[in-house]
Amino acid sequence: MTMASTSSSGRPVLGFLTRRREGGQWHWTDVFTYVYLVLGVLLMFGPVVWLVLSSFKTPAGLLEFPPTLLPLGQIEVQVEGYDDPLPLFAVTMEDGTVKELAQIRRIGIMAQMVDPENPGERVSVPINTREPIREMRVATENYIDPLETFNFLRYLQNSVIVTVVATVITLLINSMAAYGLAIYDFKGRNAIMLFVIGTLMIPVTIVLVPTYLVVTQLGMVNTLWAVILPGAATPTGVFLLRQYMLTIPKDLIEAARMDKASEWTIYWRIVLPLSLPAIAVLAIFSVMWRWNDFLWPLVVLTRNEVYTLQIGLNAFQGELDVQWHYVLAMTVVTLIPVVLVFAFLQRFITTGIASSGMK
Amino acid sequence: MAFDTDPRAEPVRLSDRVYAILALPAMAFFRLFEWPLRFLQRILGIGAMPYVFLFPNLAFFGIFVITPLILSIGFSVTGGTNLFLQDRPYVGAEQYGYLLECGNHLDPTTCREDRFWRAIYNTGTFVFFQVGFMVLFSLITALILNREIRGRGFFRAVFFFPVLLSPVVVALIWKWILLRDGVLNAALVSMGLERILFFVDPTWSMFWAIFVSVWAHMGFYTLILLAGLQAIPPDLYEAAEMDGTSKERVFWRITLPLLWPNMLVVIVLALIKAVQIFDEVFVLTGGGPGTATQFIVQYIYTTGFANQVQNFGLASAASVVLGVVLFALTIVQLAVTRRKDEG
């Protein structure tokens, strides 16, 4: 923008066209910024909007190519003498009149049609003379059916149990460990701290088989405990909470000891309430980790009734004949808690990530 | 780990109501332990209390992290299909030999376990492009979001939210767009182009695997870079403006050098994540077509768990190889973070 005066004197017309209210001028980066942002919004939001719109379409509506934007569905009518409802078309007849006919079957470029008012009479018309009759139809059954026909409610319940129980355990044992490491000066503290940081380097991907053995030995395969326990002691959490607890003034703890408070009392009455912001960040992280967890549950949960939402959803989309109308609706349901968390706690999450460099 | 800002710099507070609801049962729970722990403190003495506090967490580490880590070596030097180590015959380095033996290491078809080598080469390709694009796009996005634009908070949320989506959801969102009769093919047809069967073509599958994972995780790295950009002192920019320095020059001479430590962190973190890619791509392409998008973690999963014959030994050997790579990367990460924190 500081270049404005020199460049506009050379090219007065361009200078006039690119003049701005603020006095500066358009730099190519300004144009780029807005183009990028517009494209960015389309690319980031578009797919999710498309998912939600599609999830309200009927199976017939989903099959249409090219797809319609809104959940339009072809009207289907029940015709006497036919078991299944037949799709309704507007057919331009040879004499130029337009009739509403239901299609019985399609043979090559011809379609066999029947008049719903007069089921006895069949006509054969070329397929390019007929146009489907659509109506706006929101297929809420996509959301309701899976609740009954599939184990969807069970998956939802499993996911909620795993997320809540695991987060509670994580918060408890991580905050205890962090308290021990932050408040006391004891032999082996540095070694333990190093050990905690060391375990950060061991992701589940490299210990899949032996962890499976441990879980099997403990008799937890195909129970929710197999998903909850192995990841409960997060090194990230210990580290995050410890760094925060270090900032709590030692005098406060000394004063409490003077008053004959036990160490446990100091932990939960003084240190925990003061560490609430860091605990909130860890709680949000833990909920995200657990709700979205995939690889480990995929390994240890092989029976349908212990599936979490993610595993159940993956099983549905992997079927030979994918029922997309249900898969899309269930995907939306899986998305909802995350959207809620995001809408209400975005600031927590972004400051948490920015301050810890972790997710 | 990168503690580039003090966690207390921007205090965040849960709303009081949520706090009250959550606090009541929590307090009842803690009170329950009041007497047992007071008793413990009396017999063990205050000096033992830190160990008491550390015990549960360390016990979990011991059972679910350290034990498996040691066992994984045991698995990788034994054979057979039995899960229980005592029933597995010792085979020495045979698993590693089987895994690593190749006529020509540059050509996976000459390897004894060609699936493993294909997975390695696929992962290499994926990591190279994914990390490249990830760094490029998160840098551009961070630079743009750092500008004074209207609705900045909204735009930040737009680029960030996919980070929170589960890999399965991310994959399904895109799979639905990329299917044969999906909306992208509809767009191509309406422009007079041919339909593309994205998941039948190996190159397209790899492209979308990279694209989707960049789409999903870019927001995270953008956030780190944004924090770095905001830490650059504004007077540097003011001085540059006074001198009439061009924007391009300001970027190359001020922004990039000062952002470089954050860039390094982003590159290394992205590398560590990319090497372990599995979830999104597994749901999106299933590793296909053929083995075109099969990566190391999927190889481990398939070999150890999904195949009819579960080859735990081979899977463990592959895990150990992956572990060595990750360990090296983590050392680099620690070095980079330390340098950044000191500088």
Confidence at A357, pLDDT banded by 50, 70, 90: low
d(CA B34, CA B39): 9
Burial zone of A287 (CB within 10 Å; 0-12 exposed, 13-18 middle, 19+ buried): buried
Residue that is written with structure tokens 């990319």 in the block: B274
**Which H or E run includes B144?**
helix B114-145
Angle, CA A238 vertex, CA A281 and CA B47 arms, to 5°? 135
- What's the pLDDT score for residue B189? 86
Q: What is the CATH number of the domain that holds B334?
A: 1.10.3720.10
Specify the range with the lowest mean pLDDT, choosing from A138-147, A150-159, B166-175, B334-343.
Answer: B334-343
**Which H or E run includes B135?**
helix B114-145
Is B282 domain-assigned?
A: yes
**Does residue B287 surpass a pLDDT of 70?**
yes
- The CATH topology of domain A76-132 is SH3 type barrels. (2.30.30)
Q: Where are the alpha helices (DSSP H) in chain A?
A: 4-10, 12-17, 28-54, 59-63, 141-149, 152-183, 189-199, 208-217, 225-228, 235-245, 250-258, 263-265, 272-274, 276-292, 295-300, 309-317, 324-356
Specify the range with the lowest mean pLDDT, choosing from A83-87, B116-120, B182-186.
Answer: A83-87
d(CA B163, CA B150): 23
Asked if residues A81 and A147 have their Cβ atoms less than 8 Å apart, the reply is no
Residues of A in contact with B174 (CB under 8 A): 47
Closest CA to B223 of B114, B139, B166, B313: B139
The shortest CB-CB distance from B71 to any of A210, A231, A356 is to A210
**Which H or E run includes B98?**
helix B94-100
- The CATH topology of domain A150-356 is MetI-like fold (1.10.3720)
Confidence at A169, pLDDT banded by 50, 70, 90: very high
d(CA A281, CA A241): 9
Is B3 domain-assigned?
A: no
- What percentage of chain B exceeds 90 in pLDDT? 26
The shortest CB-CB distance from B279 to any of A176, A179, A295 is to A295
Mean pLDDT of the residues in chain B: 85
Confidence at A2, pLDDT banded by 50, 70, 90: very low
- How many domains does chain B divide into? 1
Is B93 domain-assigned?
A: no
Asked if residues B183 and B196 have their Cβ atoms less than 8 Å apart, the reply is no
B168 and A36 within 8 Å at the Cβ level: the answer is: no
Residues of A in contact with B317 (CB under 8 A): none
- What's the pLDDT score for residue A121? 75
**Does residue A159 surpass a pLDDT of 90?**
yes
Q: What are the pLDDT digits (tens) for B46-89?
A: 888 999 999 999 999 999 988 998 888 888 888 777 778 777 88
Q: Average pLDDT in the B229-233 region?
A: 87
Specify the range with the lowest mean pLDDT, choosing from A14-23, A97-106, A149-158, B299-308.
Answer: A14-23
**Does residue B94 surpass a pLDDT of 60?**
yes
Top mean pLDDT of A104-108, A267-271, B16-20 is at A267-271
The shortest CB-CB distance from A203 to any of B27, B167, B276 is to B276
- Structural domain boundaries, residue B322: 106-342
A55 touches chain B (CB under 8 A): no
User: How would you label B143-176 residue by residue, b for 16+ Cβ within 10 Å and e otherwise?
Assistant: bbbbeeeeeeeebbbbbbbbbbbbbbbbbbbbbb
Closest CA to A150 of A302, A286, A329: A329
d(CA B294, CA B282): 8
Asked if residues B304 and A209 have their Cβ atoms less than 8 Å apart, the reply is yes
- What's the pLDDT score for residue A21? 53
Q: What are the pLDDT digits (tens) for A240-299?
A: 899 889 988 888 899 998 988 889 999 998 899 888 888 888 888 888 889 989 999 999
Domain map (residue ranges) of chain A:
4-53, 76-132, 150-356
Is B178 domain-assigned?
A: yes
- What's the pLDDT score for residue B23? 78
Closest CA to B135 of B247, B210, B207, B233: B210
Q: What are the pLDDT digits (tens) for B141-166?
A: 999 998 888 888 888 888 988 988 99
